[in-house]
């Protein structure tokens, strides 16, 4: 019996539309000794199935996690490189807690749901319970580490202990038609976090969680996010960046056709004052806000505890940011908040046709600028503060 909390992982099989194909190119975990009864430890069977899939010389080998079973496994790393340049994981069931490392040309497609069973972790999170023994870090349900030419479609994720999906050091990624759900009160449950990755395309996703729907970390470039429903959550964020005083490099980020509903932020850039480097060539366009706090915000005074970090003579330089063709309602009086660094002011900020109205009767909406340089185009409401 697995006693440790971090080892209790259930594959809860609820919905499946894909059928199981039996051929020499497929490696079914049942064929490698998985019991699928929810009691026996099936970890080794999963590892054997993956090792055989990864070492197969077939053109398109597939690892099959079949429907109609309940699997108990420990945290697993699926490591590469693999012999085939076209690997598929056919996921028909509910599963959780995987790291896929160094595997190129991987495709994950199916009707499966990855269930993180996060409540036990949230209850002991230091964000909720600051008693002795609380935890600051919890597992990520699915992490891709140094995976190139990666595709994942039609997957569902629920209730991760912390971040649901993480990309680290990946290049050439497409995520489409994903559903990610966790309560708005769940701590640090970002939907998708992108770190040190490039050429990433995320589209047609429904994300509701207790943190950023999508967050973009350092050393990222050429990111395209479109057709996403976000809320509840903390919005779509670039950052936070520069916490440890390092050199930040983020560029060519496009966020478009996003529906924000009931989020605590909308389109956000957040940096620490001690950071250095640049964030540049950013586009936020065709956004719709419904009852959103801080619909448009640049916060270059980000801190663990608001307003408690000292002013510094450093700062991440934010340059060439476009906010365009975006509409909706703001729950906060300051609907456009460009709070930039006094040491490294924002430059070339363009606000083009932004129409934001108050979410509540009798409320007004305004814009606020601090060390922000740019221009307003089109018809903007509230009038921009440049």
CA–CA distance, 211 with 264 (Å, rounded to integer): 9
Catalytic residue among 164, 193, 206, 234: 234
Q: What is the DSSP letter of 119?
A: H
CA–CA distance, 138 with 110 (Å, rounded to integer): 26
Bridge partners of residue 113, in order along the sequence? 94, 156
Strand order in the sheet with 9-11: 9-11, 70-73, 37-41
CA-closest candidate to residue 209, choices 264, 280, 129: 264
Asked if 373 contacts 347 with a C-beta cutoff of 8 angstroms, the reply is: yes
Tokens of 307: 């307003």
DSSP percent split of the chain into helix, strand, coil, nearest 5: 5, 50, 45
Catalytic residue among 93, 190, 211, 218: 211
- R_g of the chain, CA atoms, integer Å: 22
Is 234 annotated in the active site?
Answer: yes
Query: Which residues have C-beta within 8 Å of that of residue 60, sequence separation ≥ 6?
Result: 25, 84, 86, 87, 88
What's the Cα-to-Cα distance from 168 to each of 43, 144, 183, 228, rounded to whole Å?
24, 6, 25, 21
What's the Cα-to-Cα distance from 44 to each of 33, 41, 49, 51, 55, rounded to whole Å?
8, 8, 8, 10, 16
Residue whose token pair is 């009086």: 333
Q: How many residues make up the chain in this entry?
A: 386
b or e along 65-86 (b: 16 or more beta carbons within 10 Å of the residue's beta carbon)?
bbbebbbbbbebebbbebebee
Bridge partners of residue 215, in order along the sequence? 193, 237
Q: Active-site residues: which are they? A: 211, 234
């Amino acid at each position: 019996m697995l006693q440790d909390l971090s080892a209790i992982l259930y594959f809860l099989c609820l919905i499946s539309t894909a059928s199981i194909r039996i051929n020499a190119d497929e490696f079914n975990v049942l064929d490698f000794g998985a019991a699928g009864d929810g009691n026996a430890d099936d970890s080794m069977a999963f590892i054997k199935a993956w090792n055989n899939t990864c070492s197969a010389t077939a053109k398109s080998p597939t690892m099959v996690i079949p429907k109609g079973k309940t699997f108990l496994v420990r945290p697993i790393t699926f490591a590469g490189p693999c012999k085939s340049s076209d690997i598929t994981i056919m996921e028909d069931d509910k599963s959780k807690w995987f790291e896929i490392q160094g595997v190129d040309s991987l495709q994950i497609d199916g009707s499966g749901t990855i269930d993180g069973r996060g409540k036990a972790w949230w209850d002991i999170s230091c964000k909720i319970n600051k008693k002795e023994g609380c935890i600051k870090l919890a597992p990520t349900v699915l992490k891709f580490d140094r995976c190139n030419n990666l595709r994942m479609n039609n997957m569902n994720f629920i209730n991760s202990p912390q971040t649901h999906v993480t990309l680290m050091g990946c290049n050439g990624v497409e995520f489409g038609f994903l559903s990610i759900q966790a309560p708005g009160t769940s701590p640090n449950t970002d939907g998708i976090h992108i770190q040190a990755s490039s050429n990433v395309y995320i589209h047609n996703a429904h994300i509701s969680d207790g943190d950023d729907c999508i967050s973009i970390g350092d050393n990222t470039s050429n990111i395209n996010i479109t057709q996403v429903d976000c809320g509840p959550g903390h919005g779509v964020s670039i950052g936070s960046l520069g916490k440890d005083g390092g050199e930040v490099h983020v560029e060519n980020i496009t966020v478009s056709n996003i529906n924000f509903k009931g989020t605590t932020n909308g389109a956000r850039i957040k940096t620490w004052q001690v950071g250095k480097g640049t964030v540049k060539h950013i586009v936020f366009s065709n956004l719709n806000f419904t009852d959103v706090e801080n619909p448009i915000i640049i916060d270059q005074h980000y801190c663990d505890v608001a307003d408690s970090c000292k002013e510094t003579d450093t700062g991440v330089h934010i340059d060439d940011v476009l906010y365009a063709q975006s509409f909706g309602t703001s729950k906060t009086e300051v609907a456009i908040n460009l709070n930039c660094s006094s040491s490294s002011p924002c430059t070339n900020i363009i606000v083009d046709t932004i129409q934001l109205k108050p979410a509540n009767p009798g409320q007004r909406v305004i814009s606020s600028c601090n060390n922000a340089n740019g221009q307003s185009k089109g018809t903007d409401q509230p009038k921009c503060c440049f």
